Amino acid sequence: MSALSPCPKCNSEFTYEDGGMCICPECGHEWSAQAEAAAEPTERVYRDATGAILQNGDTVTVIKDLKLKGGGGTIKIGTKVKNIRLVDGDHDIDCKIDGFGAMSLKTEFVKKV
C-alpha cells in the first residue's frame, strides 16, 4: 500500500511519486508532493462572538438569553460559564452551568471573560 494520499480528483489509491510530483495513473491528474505535505489538516480555531480565541478551560459569559429545549428554562444574559471544553459538532462548547447541569453552547452566543 502506498504512503501517498489518494488522488484529490478521483480518489484513486493507486498514486505514485515521480520526481517532485504525485501522479494518478487512473485519471492522469498530477500535483506537487510538497503541496500534499503542506496540506496536512490544521487545528480548528474557536472564536467567541467578539472574535477572541477560545481555549479549553476558559471562562465565558452568555451574551443573550438562551431558551433551553424541552422547557428547561432560560439561561440569562451575563451568566458566567467556567471551565469550558471545546468540541467539534453543532455546538462547540460543552460545559456545566450551575442550576442547569451539563449542556452544549455555540461560540456565537458567548464572550470570553
CATH code where residue 11 lies? 2.20.25.10
**What is the DSSP-derived secondary structure letter of residue 102?**
E
Domain of 98? 59-112
What is the rounded average pLDDT of the residues 20-38? 79
Are 63 and 104 members of one domain? Answer: yes
pTM above 0.75, yes or no: no
Under 8 Å between Cβ of 66 and 81: no
> Is it the case that residue 16 has pLDDT exceeding 70?
yes
- Clarify whether residues 29 and 64 are in a common domain: no
Q: Is residue 19 part of a domain?
A: yes
- Domain assignment present for 47: no
Q: Do residues 63 and 105 share a domain?
A: yes
- Sole residue written with cell 489509491: 13
Give the span between the Cα atoms of 92 and 54, in whole angstroms: 10
Within a domain: 53:
no
pLDDT at 9: 83
For 81, how many CA atoms within 13 A lie in the half-sphere containing its CB? 29
Residue 48 lies in a domain: no
Arithmetic mean of pLDDT over the chain: 87
pLDDT for res 72: 77
